[in-house]
Amino acid sequence: MKIYDAYKLAIQTGIDHDPRPRSEIDLVLSKAKKAYDALDDDKKELFDTESLWNPYYDCRFSWGEDIAKEKEAQRLMWGVDISTAEVLLADRLREKGEEIDAVVCHHPLGKSRNPFPKVMWMQTDIYHDCGVPINVAEGLMKPRMDEVLYNVGGDNFNRAADAARLLGIPMFNIHSAADNMVQEYLENKIKEAEPKRLQDVIDLLMTEPEYRYAAKLNDPPKIIIGDKESRCGGIIAKMTGGTSGPTGIYEELAKAGVGTIVGMHFPNSAVEACRKCHMNMIISGHMSSDSLGINLICDVWEKHGIEVFGTAGFSRFSRN
């Protein structure tokens, strides 16, 4: 399989496991096509044409598409946070004889950095599935998306991609597509196990190799609000949708019957909001939860003969 085909397979896998109805994904793609078709020819060359088939603005090929369409994907290096240092690491490993066909990034950079707040809109469907009226979820989400957009606007977003270009290493980014995988995986696991107490949720997470490995590094899943004997009530896993949602959503989730939220990480404002509405909170772990979603994508690749090794926060565990 060519590198670019592997990239497209990862996006399609994310689509297949997206928490939204397929009609919402098709709507995102159709809006992009309408926007493209409405442009004059001289402006079409500036359009992000990946958006015509890829609904995740935080998943993009930042450099080396031409190489990737010709070169076979045999061994890839994937990191949660890729910087120039990791690109240099890939080049150094190549010098030492390691085969690395491309560098894969998880957190958005390059072409995927500035537009990534757009994917936050998918959170509205997650909250709606929990019982929050869709108009309330959407009304709360838009200001939060604007806030994140302003915050990323000053980033030197293309540094690592520039390094990859100068060193001739293809680089692409898989964020929401992988996060969708851990979202669905944990939702199904929680639904099947029906944990009653917060400790039951911790024990459930600790059956997964990513969380056990993180625990060895002193980063186990943690109960932030509540204690191990606290009853869970309704449980929501929040693992996808770009970044943390609006603080106002927690009160709405509590009204809808959610008693416990499980997430990779939360800002202090979210912790305080949950505390005020007596919602239990469990932090599953950022690198461990990201690694779980990434590993599920890698398992798909592995079936096509593609090997992936981890760095920069990602630890590879195969479920094949």
Return the bridge partners of 170, or none: none
Could you give the domains of the chain? 3-177+289-310 (3.40.1390.30), 182-285 (3.40.1390.30)
How many CB atoms neighbour CB 22 within 10 A?
10
> By C-alpha distance, which of 208, 243, 302, 34 is closest to 123?
243
> By C-alpha distance, which of 251, 240, 267, 236 is closest to 137?
251
Region of residue 319 (left: phi > 0; alpha: psi -120 to 50; beta: else): alpha
In angstroms, rounded to a whole number, what is the distance separating the alpha carbons of residues 282 and 250? 14
> Which residues of the chain are modeled with pLDDT < 50?
none
What pLDDT is recorded for position 152?
87
> For residue range 45-74, what is the model confidence (pLDDT) as tens digits?
999 999 999 999 999 999 999 999 999 999
Kindly give the pairing relationship between strand 280-283 and strand 102-105. unpaired
In angstroms, rounded to a whole number, what is the distance separating the alpha carbons of residues 1 and 301? 9
Kindly give the pairing relationship between strand 61-63 and strand 171-173. antiparallel
> For residue range 75-92, what is the model confidence (pLDDT) as tens digits?
999 999 999 999 999 999
What pLDDT is recorded for position 164?
98
What pLDDT is recorded for position 155?
87
What pLDDT is recorded for position 17?
97
What pLDDT is recorded for position 242?
87
What is the pLDDT of the chain when averaged over all its residues? 96
In angstroms, rounded to a whole number, what is the distance separating the alpha carbons of residues 245 and 139? 12
pTM for the model? 0.95
> For residue range 143-180, what is the model confidence (pLDDT) as tens digits?
999 999 998 888 899 999 999 999 999 999 999 999 99
What pLDDT is recorded for position 153?
84
